């Protein structure tokens, strides 16, 4: 059973398009995250939701909008895609937002903007 | 602000060699510290963690000790295998209300037979 799943796994699209990446966790966790991993493997948090409430919102262009319809889902919508948005996006979840709670990562979505 | 610094890679070792990947951190308060591993084409997996000073995290032969005096959390393994080839990320988790995970830039390990 997949704990944290993301769809799609690969996404190739053109500049200017709008796309969404979906994330679902079946662990019963309260907190979910989106991370961006750039071409140099550097991983940086973008957003975090706890019980459907936004708790972390890093300096990310407002073209990126997370949406959490329920605790088990956190989707990422990107408007007007740019070349620089090409990266691997990882979803993660943790039981709660506390400092010692392990984060479980999904397999990643490789976004390529042409 | 809080940050994590890892040694630059790639690190290339022969099988059964001793591994050290250095990690130092800058943080206010007393963060929790983590090592994550990313195998080719996969997501990150937690390898080990330590939540307070002098704690030692260990898993699969890997170890790291939380050293508050040197603000370090170096990863070690006595005898690496080809299957350990991956990218290793050191991370800290803040203890303020954000509880953010802050990652280092990752160190690629390549183990040759």
Parts of chain A with a pLDDT under 50:
none
Chain B contacts in chain A segment 67-86 (CB below 8 A)? none
Alpha carbon of A82: minimum distance to chain B alpha carbons (Å)? 23
Nearest CA in chain A to B40: A107
Distance CA A45, CA A71 (A): 19
pLDDT at A76: 96
Facing residue for A99 by CB, picked from B31, B44, B105 = B31
**Choice between B89 and B29, residue whose per-residue pLDDT is larger:** B89
B5 touches chain A (CB under 8 A): no
pLDDT tens for each residue of A2-34 = 689 999 999 999 999 999 999 999 999 999 999
pLDDT at B98: 62
Question: What SS3 state is found at A83?
Answer: helix
Distance CA B8, CA A104 (A): 25
Question: What SS3 state is found at B51?
Answer: coil
pLDDT at B40: 85
Cβ-based contacts of B32 with chain A (< 8 Å): 99-100
Helices (H), A1-114: none
Alpha carbon of B93: minimum distance to chain A alpha carbons (Å)? 6
pLDDT tens for each residue of B71-98 = 999 999 999 999 999 999 999 987 775 6
Cβ-based contacts of B105 with chain A (< 8 Å): 40-42
Residue A24's alpha-carbon distances to A10, A15, A45, A71, B28, in angstroms, are: 16, 27, 18, 9, 33
Facing residue for B101 by CB, picked from A45, A106, A108 = A45
A43 touches chain B (CB under 8 A): yes
Distance CA B4, CA A45 (A): 14
């Amino acid at each position: 059973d997949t704990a944290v799943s993301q769809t799609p796994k690969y996404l190739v699209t053109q500049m200017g398009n709008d796309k969404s990446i979906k994330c679902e966790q079946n662990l019963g966790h309260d907190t979910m995250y989106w991370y961006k991993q750039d071409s140099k493997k550097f991983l940086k948090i973008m957003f975090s939701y706890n019980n459907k409430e936004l708790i972390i919102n890093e300096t990310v262009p407002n073209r990126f909008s997370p949406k959490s319809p329920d605790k088990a889902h956190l989707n990422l919508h990107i408007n007007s895609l740019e070349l620089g948005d090409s990266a691997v996006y990882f979803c993660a979840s943790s039981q709660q937002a506390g400092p010692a709670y392990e984060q479980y990562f999904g397999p990643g979505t490789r976004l390529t903007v042409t | 602000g809080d940050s994590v610094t890892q040694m630059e890679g790639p690190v290339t070792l022969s099988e059964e060699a001793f591994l050290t990947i250095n990690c130092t951190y800058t943080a206010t308060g007393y963060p929790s510290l983590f090592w994550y591993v990313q195998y080719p084409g996969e997501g990150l997996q937690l390898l080990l963690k330590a939540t307070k000073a002098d704690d030692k995290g260990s898993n699969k032969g890997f170890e790291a000790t939380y050293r508050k005096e040197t603000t370090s959390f170096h990863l070690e393994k006595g005898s690496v295998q080809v299957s350990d080839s991956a990218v290793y990320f050191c991370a800290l988790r803040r203890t303020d209300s954000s509880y953010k995970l802050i990652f280092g830039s990752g160190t690629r390990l390549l183990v040759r037979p």
